[in-house]
Amino acid sequence: MAAGCVSRMIIRMVRRTAPAIGLNKMAITIKSEKEIALMRESCRLLAIVHKELGEAIRPGMSTWEIDQMGDQLIRKLGGVPNFKNYNGYPASICVSVNDEVVHGIPSKKRILQEGDIVSLDAGLIYKGYHSDAARTHGVGKVSPAAEKLMKVTEESFFVGIKMAKAGNHLFDISNAIDAYVRPFRYGIVRDLVGHGIGTKLHEDPQIPNFRQLRRGPLLRPGMTLAIEPMINMGRADVEWLDDDWTVVTQDGSWSAHYENTVLITNGEPEILTLYD
């Protein structure tokens, strides 16, 4: 399907419906060298945004301030925030605190406290090409359990992309992430998945972070993918708040998110949104 079907699906990094994966025709775009150069630049700028935002996080700050800072920085760098007004999303940076999984809406009233964990999801468009990446940060000193959740989530991404090479199949990535996370007995979010990215924020294919029975489409050089494990300390189940955006864990457990835009090559994948 892609980011396209029904209202809700469009917005959530492509929300999964049961029969969708693999059964429908997919159109996974292969980027030309010229397009890849633009993707690289879009992603390089986004990496700067994440670095700056990460360094700015501190207790007492509102999530609105983070959005302001991110929005201004994206524009200063020559990009356009791609989340802003995306299906009505009201901000440029998704800021999700503690039990919020993704798509939290920045607010002047939401003040970060020491010990919180905060997921920042950001993206931009540069010369028509989208980038998308997320990081989860501790606010001041956080509990060992929260540290571990953030670490395992980030590690799961890196384990996953070891499989992200031409000749492998897409769900080799999904299965690797699942196999890595499972022993920690965390909940791997299933209602939201990663996605292709390029001239649109959400392109085919959908990229689940949990085990698949099929291997999925063949990976080819020139594919650009946003791979984004969302991992809960408790159960996998999530729900949507009444603002119709904020995704929270059903059991109130804390959640971490880590995402990069990645280029499939003939060799190792290129992680385009890493800061040097």
Check: CB of residue 231 under 8 Å from CB of residue 225.
no
Token pair recorded at residue 59 = 């207790």
If the CB atoms of residues 175 and 260 are measured against Co ion, the closer one turns out to be 260
36 sits near Co ion (criterion: CB under 5 A): no
Angle at 82 between CA 43 and CA 107, to 5 degrees: 110
CA-based torsion, 138, 142, 145, 148: positive or negative: positive
83 sits near ligand MF3 (criterion: CB under 6 A): yes
Contacting residues for 219 by C-beta, under 8 A, at least 6 apart: 164, 165, 166, 167, 168, 169, 170, 264
139 sits near ligand MF3 (criterion: CB under 6 A): no
Token pair recorded at residue 191 = 């209602």
* Least separation in angstroms between CB 260 and ligand MF3: 11
Q: Cα-flanking dihedrals φ and ψ of residue 92, to 5°?
A: -100, -25
Alpha helices in 86-169 (DSSP H): 144-161
If the CB atoms of residues 20 and 61 are measured against Co ion, the closer one turns out to be 20
The residue from 9, 13, 39, 120 that contacts ligand MF3 (CB under 6 A) is 13
- Sheet containing strand 238-240, strands side by side: 100-102, 247-249, 238-240
If the CB atoms of residues 103 and 137 are measured against Co ion, the closer one turns out to be 103
If the CB atoms of residues 2 and 94 are measured against ligand MF3, the closer one turns out to be 94
* Least separation in angstroms between CB 94 and ligand MF3: 5
172 binds, among Co ion, ligand MF3, none (CB under 5 to 8 A by kind): none
193 sits near Co ion (criterion: CB under 5 A): no
94 binds, among Co ion, ligand MF3, none (CB under 5 to 8 A by kind): ligand MF3
Q: List residues binding ligand MF3 (CB under 6 A).
A: 11-13, 83, 86, 89, 94, 103, 121, 123, 132, 134, 195, 226
Q: List residues binding Co ion (CB under 5 A).
A: 13, 132, 226
